[in-house]
Amino acid sequence: MNQLTIAIIFYIFAAVTVLSAAFVVFSKNIIYSAFSLLFTFFGVAALYVFLSADFIAVTQVVVYVGGILVLLLFGVMFTNTIMQTELKADVLHVVPGVLLTLALIGGLLFAFYNASAAGSWMPGMMQLQGSVVERIGFETMSRYMLPFEMVSIVLLVALLGAAFLARYDKAHKKEH
């Protein structure tokens, strides 16, 4: 593939990501926000493929779209009865929020572009190429062994705690 094709595909996915993220934030209807988040996650996964992190892209689709998004949708359905028209979500402090957000994005972009223009960081000689699946396997079983095990315990404990918290009310009532 030549450079132009790659650039066009990149810009399409970048536009999908940014526009759907903006829709998530600015939409008044929470259901629309949740479904728009789907496109954001897919767009971000596509950007991960551009960064030659194919395994992370697949993980992103499986975990975010298959897990977190379903959980969020479940929360939306659970805490808002569909029949009532109170699916709208109000906002507060819009003007300071917009100003702070613009300042934040501007500051970040200024820092990034300044640093790259001044040559503070530049692409290294050895960039990641192709697939990283094999290298992730080696790293997980060698240098990142301990964090890998720790994160598995954290996930187990957090999920057990979440299950307990979500049905705490029922157990509490039985005691009395």
Does position 64 interact with another protein (CB under 8 A)? The reply is yes
The angle, 0 to 180 degrees and rounded to 10, between the axes of the packed helices 69-79 and 30-50 is: 170
Question: Interface residues for another protein in 75-104 (CB under 8 A)?
Answer: 75-76, 78-80, 89-94, 96-98, 100-102, 104
Which residue carries 């049905």 as its tokens? 167
Q: Are 57 and 17 in contact (CB under 8 A)?
A: no
Does position 3 interact with another protein (CB under 8 A)? The reply is yes
The least distance separating another protein from the CB of residue 85, rounded to whole angstroms, comes to 14
Does position 58 interact with another protein (CB under 8 A)? The reply is no
Interacting residue with another protein among 1, 118, 165, 171 (CB under 8 A):
165
Does position 30 interact with another protein (CB under 8 A)? The reply is yes
Interacting residue with another protein among 12, 145, 149, 168 (CB under 8 A):
168
Angle at alpha carbon of residue 90, lines to 89 and 94, rounded to 5°: 130
Does position 67 interact with another protein (CB under 8 A)? The reply is yes
d(CA 81, CA 77): 7
Does position 68 interact with another protein (CB under 8 A)? The reply is yes
Q: Are 41 and 65 in contact (CB under 8 A)?
A: yes
Ramachandran category for residue 127: left, alpha or beta (phi over 0 → left; psi -120 to 50 → alpha):
beta
Does position 12 interact with another protein (CB under 8 A)? The reply is no
